[in-house]
Structure 1
């Protein structure tokens, strides 16, 4: 089993009618800029443990489980709206860093959140790190009727139990799933992650700590023009980190490319693009030491 170097504290914060679970490493102190790290889709805050252990400096780190993930339960939700993540982050910063700038890191979905949040609240962010938060393919208005229909159809499937997440017979089964999804993940890391990414049920099976409602298609189209207007307001230095494996090609099969993503980044006033070798989308698992050094160098 992976041996943790820097244990975390679990805290629960009342945010927008939810008990938000937040993992905290280190302590606040004079001259310390809080480092806020937000996870991606179907992930949890604990996923950053390997990077936290690899940091060479003593940071005050705040990492929430997004609503409906990990230990932040949202039992009444049957779908999730992207603007809620921005608002949740805003409330969390009010709690942990009132009147203070933070260094903000986001992975995948969390990377998309921090890019939008940074453009909406630029005064709150000192440095911003986006780990493969690529955004989505451009859409056109004519797609709206079909998108709304898909959303309603999937809601019916959700309530019929047709979108439930698979349960596993043991934590070992969860670890095998993690290693199948990411062949670079070692057995010791997978065994450790499985017990944070999933939880044991009363019957001894294990379930992923993510609500099935996260699988429901967003009813709203992804409006690139709005995103670009927000990107232009990212006045802080931005580090966009990507892995050597090209996930966009795998996901979108040419509908949305890395070159298109790079084109969008050109409107960001201060952006640096970095690449992590021998890594896939879960770079914080694959190359935590390299990523930790890159983040620290940037925020230093």
Structure 2
């Protein structure tokens, strides 16, 4: 029998129209005078509810807002057959216009969300008080010569769009989550499954637009990303798990020394490695991560 995850802080589910799309947000706590909201951005193929465990472990009371990116969770799909990275920056800018138009916020992003947060903090440095990046390494630089083959692959995939296979039960979704992350406990997996997937006539399907799996026709340009990183004015807390994700995901395509050189370009960085944690460190070690977040935001 799977134990029920003991929820400590209840969230409020709300919808905001941002740039013409209905976006889903989760909100914990209430605005406090003089205290900026903490805005949380999830990673690729994830959802805002993924932050529940670390929110439960944070000390004190403060306003926390987590966004479902377009095409993920309960937010609208883009309405096109592709997703472009600049749209995430535009959606985040519109969200902050709604949440805190006249004052900076504290911003936290995981993986893809961490990459968005870093770029945004360089483009709009005045809007971020403190920035937390959880394993948002970026991607390997891509040479211009790769453009024809990448575009060719993208055009081919447009003719046969990817699909997301259904699962027979929510328990099967939870099993998939634990297969992806061996550190995820059954109670957390069962709780996440209900947010990660929805029931359809074919079974339980992930809350994500399959178009996210298309090859990206826009090449990753390290120099352009670093031009943004160099402009970050906020103090940055960089947190990664002890399990080396760069080697796991990219091998020699993205060597560790390349990332170290990139992070050295950021003006103010405090670094931390969480023991016994992988890429989903907010699931693996939420209490340890929350303690670091509390200390950094209070510093």
Match among 90, 99, 124 for residue 96 of structure 1: 99
Partner of 1:209: 207
Give the aligned partner of residue 131 of structure 1. 134
State the Cα deviation string for residues 226-282 of structure 1 (Å, max 9, x = none): 111111101110111111011111111211023211110111111112111100100
Residue 150 of structure 1, CA deviation: 1.3
In the TM superposition, 1:60-139 aligns within 5 A as 60-74=63-77, 76-139=79-142
TM-aligned CA deviation for residue 99 of structure 1: 0.7
Matched residue, 2:268: 270
Give the 5 Å matches for 1:227-246: 227-246=225-244
Matching residue of 1:12: 15
- In structure 1, the gaps of 5 or more residues are none
Corresponding residue for residue 292 of structure 1: 290
Mark the runs of 5 or more structure 2 residues left unpaired by the alignment. none
- Where 2:108 maps in the other structure, the secondary structure is strand
Q: Counterpart of 1:259?
A: 257
What is the distance in 1 between the residues matched to 2:132 and 2:32?
A: 22
Report the number of matched residues: 295
What is the rounded CA distance, in whole Å, between the counterparts of 2:103 and 2:80 in structure 1? 32
CA distance in 1: counterparts of 2:215 and 2:127, whole angstroms: 31
- After the TM superposition, list the runs of 4 or more consecutive aligned residues in structure 1 that deviate by more than 6 angstroms: none
How far apart are the structure 1 equivalents of 2:80 and 2:136?
Answer: 24
Name 2:185's counterpart in structure 1: 186
Aligned equivalents of 2:293, 2:158: Cα separation in 1:
39
Greater shift, 253-262 or 210-219, is seen at 253-262
* TM-score normalised by length of structure 1: 0.97
Q: Secondary structure in 1 aligned to 2:160?
A: helix
Contact 2:37 2:105 in 1 (8 A): yes
Q: Residues 195-216 of structure 1, C-alpha deviation per residue, up to 9 Å, x if partnerless?
A: 001111135x111001100001
Cα distance in 1 for residues equivalent to 2:201 and 2:155: 32
Give the CA RMSD over aligned residues: 0.9
Q: CA deviation at 1:75?
A: 5.9
Match of residue 249, structure 1, among 247, 265, 274: 247
2:266 alignment partner, SS class = coil
Give the aligned partner of residue 168 of structure 2.
169
Q: Deviations over 1:53-90 (max 9, x none)?
A: 00011120011100000000216221100000000000
**What is the deviation of 1:33?**
1.2
**Does residue 196 in structure 1 map to residue 195 in structure 2?**
yes
Distance 2:174 2:137 in 1: 27
